Amino acid sequence: MTAVQAEQGVLAGDPRMLIDGELVQTAGGATFDVVHPASEQVAGQAADGTVDDMGRAVAAARRAFDETDWSRDLDFRVHCLTQLHEALERNKEHLRRVLITEVGCPVSVTGSQIESPIEEVKHWTEHGRKFEYLVDNGVHDTPLGPARRKLHYEAVGVVGAITPWNVPFYLNIAETVPALIAGNTVVLKPAQLTPWSGSEYGRIVAEETDIPAGVFNVVTSNANEVGAALSADPRVDMITFTGSTATGRAILAAGASTVKKTLLELGGKSAHIVLDDADFSASLPLAAMMACVMSGQSCILPSRILLPRSRYEEGLAILKASMENFPVGDPWTPGVMQGPQISETQRQKVLGLIQSGIDSGARLITGGGVPENLPVGYFTQPTLLADVDPDSQIAQEEIFGPVLTVTPYDDDDHAVAIANNSIYGLSGEVSSADVDRAFAVATRMRTGNVTINAKSHFGIDSPFGGTKQSGLGYRNGAEGFKEYLAIKTIGMPE
């Protein structure tokens, strides 16, 4: 790393895992390197946990669920998660530096990745505290006379949480805190590229909260087999997963033999339908910004822009100018909004997909390569491709880079058909001067979430989930909390 970066804040995270209440190395002491994507330098190491380590963590979580009263003592859980919220607040700047170090996320856009998840801990603690765990479902006639039915919401059991690298701290919290306050015990397996957002979370739980041994465990590893072991373990009752659709399919298959409850938030290839009456000067600069912030490494990014043929070149010109002026650079510098891709492998994947688009007849409007002024770090130019064939690889595969594809359409029906031409159904956007018209189009999009005129669908108050091959089940909202609960229906005398 450069001296400037060291001064600015590159910070190695904790190299230990949390298993059964202890902060530990793996048995043989093996570690793997964590690279700072803006400097390409090794920033430190993480424990390279094994399938055995995962087995010990699952055993600890099973024991804590079966043999302690964690799942039945709501007051104690509220106490522990209130402590966790306070501890995360105290560690906020430390967590921010670790996040920037391992992800390369620009400091200016870390709010949604640090402040928001810490707030979410408070939200879920309050939600769990107020939740009605026992609901009277009324008296019903049965052949043996009237019976009252009560619905008892109970923790599912041991939850395995597997997270990706793009928003690691946020997703570590989003997958585990609702599970914990609902009374489950948890084993978290963070992504290989971002182990520290998980290990730091484990350290804070161990050192600064009363969360008992075994209730929360973190196993870092450089091997996919360790996540696979968690998703196949018969002692695990539920898997909550965020990541690619390919891994989601493997997790679903691995859980089939024990009929594991499985919550999947997977990939996306969302479309933004810009209707012909839309205010292009408002909607398109924002569309370009969304493509570049987080280096395009966002699952909900509407990366396929659909422009009306009647205003096609006008739209392209606005997008081009917005992308060419986007502040790309060192993530530690305030004001920079796009940092590097997380790894050279990811950057090569992005560049390869751009080339496949060009090969299939797309017109490169801007970008397409590596910024000349940023030779070190895994940076990619904001890239705009026009005339993209909706059936081509670049229109069908998730790019996960600062790339927008643009396709012209003839009328609203045509736009909806192109938007729905995807195996994914995660998110989407519609822009129009006429909100009713935009709403009508939104209801025809086969996707879990839609934003109209930049008014975001995403928030802790509202359910978020994918349709088609983008997922199963919900995060956020009342529905997202209930995912971590099973309903026991109890029939009893009136």
Annotated active-site positions, please?
A: 265, 299
Interface map 409-448 toward ligand NAD (x if CB under 6 A): -----------------x----------------------
The DSSP symbol for 387 reads: S
Nearer to ligand NAD, 14 or 412 (CB): 14
In this structure, what token pair is assigned to residue 324?
């060419």
Helices and strands, counts by H and E, the chain:
16, 22
Task: Give the separation between CA 295 and CA 168, rounded to whole angstroms.
Answer: 15
- Hey, what are 282's tokens? 């408002």
Please identify which residue in 165, 169, 379, 481 interacts with ligand NAD, judged by CB under 6 A: 165
Q: In what order do the strands lie in the sheet with 403-409?
A: 363-366, 383-386, 403-409, 302-308, 270-274, 428-431, 451-452
Contacts of 414 by beta carbon, 8 Å cutoff, 6+ apart: none
Whole-number CA gyration radius for the chain: 23
Contact flag: residue 287 with ligand NAD (CB under 6 A):
no
| Locus of tokens 């856009």 | 109
In this structure, the strands spanning 185-189 and 158-162 are: parallel
Task: Decide if residue 251 touches ligand NAD (CB under 6 A).
Answer: yes
Site for ligand NAD contains 242 (CB under 6 A): yes
Sign of the CA dihedral 462, 415, 420, 241?
negative
Nearer to ligand NAD, 87 or 191 (CB): 191
Residue 267 touching ligand NAD (CB under 6 A): yes
125 three-class SS: helix
Asked whether 338 and 106 are in contact (CB, 8 A), the reply is yes
Whichever of 192 and 431 has its CB closer to ligand NAD, that residue is 192
Which residues in 228-356 belong to E strands, given as ranges? 238-242, 261-265, 270-274, 302-308
- Which of 327, 405, 404 is closest to 371 using CA atoms? 327
Please, which residue, 128 or 471, has the CB nearer to ligand NAD? Answer: 471
Binding mask 123-152 for ligand NAD (x = CB under 6 A): ------------------------------
* Contact flag: residue 240 with ligand NAD (CB under 6 A): no
In the complex, minimum distance from the CB of residue 445 to ligand NAD, in angstroms, rounded to a whole number: 16
Q: In the numeric block, which tokens belong to residue 327?
A: 């502040």
47 lines the binding site for ligand NAD (CB under 6 A): no
Q: Taking CA 281 as the corner, what is the angle to CA 277 and CA 285, rounded to the nearest 5 degrees?
A: 120
Q: Whole-number minimum distance, CB 397 to ligand NAD, in Å?
A: 10
Pairwise CA distance, residues 142 & 350, whole Å: 61
Question: Binding residues for ligand NAD, how many (CB under 6 A)?
Answer: 28
Per DSSP, helices labelled H in 2-132 are 3-8, 51-67, 74-90, 92-103, 115-130
247 near ligand NAD (CB under 6 A): yes
Q: Which is nearer to ligand NAD, 103 or 386 (CB)?
A: 103
Q: Does residue 8 bind ligand NAD (CB under 6 A)?
A: no
Binding to ligand NAD, residues 185-204 (CB under 6 A): 189, 191-192
Q: What binding mask, one character per residue, do residues 459-488 give for ligand NAD by CB under 6 A, x or -?
A: -------x----x-----------------
The nearer residue to ligand NAD, 101 or 469, going by C-beta atoms, is 469
Q: Does 164 bind ligand NAD (CB under 6 A)?
A: yes
Residue 228, both tokens:
């696979």
End-to-end CA distance of the chain: 71
- CB closer to ligand NAD, 52 vs 410: 52
User: Can you name the residues that pair with 265 across neighbouring β-strands?
Assistant: 242, 471
User: Residue 233 interacts with ligand NAD (CB under 6 A)?
Assistant: no
Q: How far is the CB of 316 from ligand NAD (least distance, A)?
A: 26
Which is closer to ligand NAD, CB of 125 or CB of 297?
A: 297
Is 34 among the residues that bind ligand NAD (CB under 6 A)? no
Q: Does 342 bind ligand NAD (CB under 6 A)?
A: no
- The CB-nearest residue to ligand NAD is 227
Instruction: Give the residue with the Cβ less far from ligand NAD, 13 or 471.
Output: 471
**Span from 4-12, 57-65, 242-250, 449-457 in contact with ligand NAD (CB under 6 A):** 242-250
DSSP 378: S
CA-CA distance, 144 to 84, in Å (whole number)? 49
**Contact status: 113 vs ligand NAD (CB under 6 A):** no
For residue 49, state whether it binds ligand NAD (rule: CB under 6 A): no
CB neighbourhood size of 435 (10 A): 13
Task: Report if residue 36 touches ligand NAD, rule: CB under 6 A.
Answer: no
302 binding ligand NAD? (CB under 6 A)? no
Would you tell me which residues interact with ligand NAD (CB under 6 A)? 162-167, 189, 191-192, 224, 227-228, 231, 242-244, 247, 250-251, 265-268, 299, 398, 426, 466, 471
